[in-house]
Amino acid sequence: MSDSNASLPIIDNPGVNRRRFLKTAGATLGLAAWAAAMKPLLDLTPEVNADEFLQKHYRELTPEQKAVVFKRLEEEAKAEYDVDVTISDPPPMENVLFGYALNLSVCIGCRKCAEACHIENNHDRASNNSYICVFEMEKGGIDFEKGNATYDHPVPAPGKYYMPVQCQQCENAPCVTACPIEATWKEKDGIVVVDYNWCIGCRYCEAACPYHARRFNWEKPEIPAEEVNPDQSYLSNRIRPQGVMEKCTFCLHRTREGRLPACLEACPTGARVFGNLLDPDSEIRWVIENKRTFVLKEELGTKPRFFYYFDE
């Protein structure tokens, strides 16, 4: 041992000379810089795990892989929101193409639909976000420049009508075309969905949508545990991560099981009609065939599956 000690290249002075001072200072600074550079990684560890990073696109997942992913998401919801949620994955129904119609003669602009959407779809409480934006419009035309989405007075006000706008589930959806990574696509039943785990948050789809139907998660959604809707699905109302796009999915976790969308159930006036466009006996078909219906911004060629109509 003493031999090895003797072989160390200690020159003479154990005190501080200029060279040693510079070396020590340099090493300390280097170490500090390295620690600072590595700091974000340490912060990220609980948020970004390897499984999530390596997860494949939703449409490439096998049923077994889906089960693993859903279980992980349920565990994350438990850890972050302290709620027991179930994440389902109802597939599109056979021979079903969803359509929605809204009666402008009957809508009174009470925003109950927007409120129901907020609760059903686990939106961030602070922003009071919703997939439905209700415009108060001047009677006599459809001029959104004169529309007001922040009215707060008893409704319906004289001389006004009310136009709730949500995702139109376009057959020719500009948002799908705009997405550079195919994180959003149209399902067989006509619903445009987003894989929140695949979305990179570039917001191109938000810019492409002529109906302003897409929302961006600026912050991590904050919802008290007792208010979280635990009936969730991967492609619809599960709590979205920060930094991804989200949109109305016609409540596919409900509608693909035959239930009515939350906004329709909340409507006190019955202004909303939902159903299967392929079923000739459905209510939605009756409306389209017997009422004066129109679609928003028809000239853009987006072919919406959301129809507006009037009574007489």
Partner 1 sequence: MKISAGKMLFFVGLIIISAIAAQMYASVKQRERIVSPPQAEYSTLFPVKINAPKPLAEIATDQKDAKGNAILVSCQSCHSVRSPNPQNGSAGPLISFHQDLDFVHGKLVCISCHNPEGYYADFRLASGESINPENVMTLCAQCHGPQFRDYQNGSHGGMTGHWDLRKGPRQRNHCVDCHDPHKPAFPLFRPVAGPNDRFTPHQTKGTHE
In whole angstroms, what is the distance from residue 104 CA to residue 225 CA? 36
Residue 259: CB minimum distance to partner 1, A: 5
| Minimum CB distance to partner 1, residue 256 (Å) | 10
Calpha distance 163→103 (Å, rounded): 9
**CB nearer to partner 1: pick between 93 and 202:** 93
At closest approach, how far in Å is the CB of 130 from partner 1?
6
Of 52 and 80, which has the nearer Cβ to partner 1?
80
Q: Which two tokens stand for residue 147?
A: 């529309």
Contact partners, residue 137, CB within 8 Å, separation at least 6:
143, 144, 146, 147, 160, 161, 162, 163
> Rule CB under 8 A: is residue 106 a binding residue for partner 1?
yes
Distance CA 298, CA 301 (A): 6
Are 192 and 166 in contact, with CB atoms under 8 Å apart? no
The verdict on 311 binding partner 1 (CB under 8 A) reads yes
Residue 274 interacts with partner 1 (CB under 8 A): yes or no = yes
240-255 exposure pattern, b = at least 16 Cβ within 10 A, e = fewer: bbeebbbbbbbbbbbb
Q: Determine, following the binding rule CB under 8 A, whether residue 264 of this chain makes contact with partner 1.
A: yes
Q: Pick out residues in 195-254 that bind partner 1 (CB under 8 A).
A: 218-219
What tokens does 257 get? 């099981």
Q: In the complex with partner 1, which residue's Cβ is closer, 220 or 303?
A: 220
CB of 50 to partner 1, least distance (A): 30
Q: Does residue 34 belong to the site contacting partner 1 (CB under 8 A)?
A: no
Q: Residue from 111, 238, 253, 305 that binds partner 1 (CB under 8 A)?
A: 111
